[in-house]
DNA sequence: CGTTGCGTGTCAGTATTCTGACACGCACCA
DNA sequence: TGGTGCGTGTCAGAATACTGACACGCAACG
């Protein structure tokens, strides 16, 4: 029942392995983020804002792979606790550009270091060449899946 | 602010790319599974049972990357709808070995073909060599993260 | 000028998953 | 014989994310 399968063989499926890797990575991130009182989405939001200041709620949602509704609840909490700021009025359109406060930036520093250590650990057994290959391969997978999206 | 970063550069982070790939793959799977009235976890459970009959609730949960509590609610629904069977009494210990019914097997066939087509699309732009490399690289990442788990 | 399409923020309700906790069965070892 | 550790199934509650829907601002086009 495990050879000449019409379906998907879990032992050799790259899709399954991809999901497993992502799951283990997420768990490892949660582990180091929990002591800092931060969730993965929480961290993702702050990191996105540090690298691309002024992102709107919808853009943050896309970057963190959640819906804008979910990101909005998070942003409201972050704003309430003084980690980010949003203008009361939209400078253009309806999009509210969000920015980190000094407190948010400080909070991110420790988290970012922690996450970076996790990523280093993940890549520990790989050569530079393998890492570049992994990068290109993953990008190819993403592109292939996106292209055939509405086809 | 994007070079010599202490933190994580989203543009070059393998961790971020991994999450993105996983997210896109999940979305693609949901898209082809929805017409069949099946969620990703739903499908994962059936596929696991097809390839490893007699798995317990906890084992299925680990295989599908959810908690046993979540898997249990799913299993109860699947059992109620006649896709799987579980004995009333545990043959040994407390673990209840689960098996697909003919109906479950039939339902899985279409889903498995659909998911397989998604995986084929994902790998369309990759050579055989690249696929083997991807496999080994992902396994290395998983092992590295798991090893340093409780360290 | 109107209207069509697209992206956005937001409200409400639903679903899903998770965390915490308890009791049970088995294996191991003192 | 009794105790300890581990894995399991299950109940209850909370957190989280999602789907659906609405109104608004902007740009493109007739």
Measured between alpha carbons, how far is residue B89 from residues B51, B72, B80 in Å?
A: 23, 16, 17
Q: Closest Cα to residue A138, out of B27, B70, B52, B13?
A: B13
- Nearest CA among A101, A106, A119, A93 for reference residue A36: A106
The secondary structure of chain B, three-state, reads CCCCCCCCCCCCCHHHHHHHHHHHHHHHHHHHHHHHCCCHHHHHHHHHHHHCCCCCHHHHHHHHCCCHHHHHHHHHHHHHCCCEECCCCCCECCECCCEECHHHHHHHHHHHHHHHHHHHHHCCCCCHHHHHHHHHHHHHHHHHHHHCCCC
Chain A nearest-CA distance from B43, in A, is 11
Tell me the CA–C1' distance in angstroms for A93 and D25. 5
**Per residue in A55-98, pLDDT tens?**
999 999 999 999 999 999 999 999 999 999 999 988 889 999 99
Residues touching nucleic chain C (CB < 7 Å):
A 30, 56-59, 68-69, 72, 90, 93-96; B 39, 41, 65-67, 69-70, 73-74, 90, 92-94
Q: Is A95 helix (H, G, I), strand (E, B) or coil?
A: strand
Which phi and psi (to 5°) does residue B22 adopt?
-60, -40
Contact in structure between A66 and A41 (CB atoms under 8 Å): yes
Find and give the residue nearest to D18, measured CA to C1': A67
Summarize pLDDT for A3-46 with one digit per residue, the tens. 334 556 788 899 999 999 999 999 999 999 999 999 999 999 99
Nearest to A124 among B118, B131, B144 (CB): B144
pTM over 0.75: yes
């Amino acid at each position: 029942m495990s050879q000449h399968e019409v379906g998907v063989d879990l032992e050799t499926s790259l899709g399954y392995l991809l999901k497993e890797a992502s799951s283990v990575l997420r768990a490892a991130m949660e582990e180091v983020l929990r002591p800092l009182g931060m969730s993965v989405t929480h961290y993702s939001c702050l990191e996105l804002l540090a690298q691309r200041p002024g992102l709107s709620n919808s853009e943050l949602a896309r970057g963190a792979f959640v819906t804008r509704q979910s990101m909005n609840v998070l942003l409201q909490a972050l704003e309430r606790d003084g980690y980010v700021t949003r203008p009361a009025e939209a400078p253009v359109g309806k999009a509210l550009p969000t920015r980190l406060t000094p407190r948010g930036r400080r909070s991110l520093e420790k988290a970012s270091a922690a996450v970076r250590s996790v990523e280093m650990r993940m890549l520990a057994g790989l050569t530079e060449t393998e890492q570049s290959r992994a990068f290109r391969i993953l990008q190819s997978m993403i592109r292939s899946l996106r292209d055939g999206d509405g086809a």
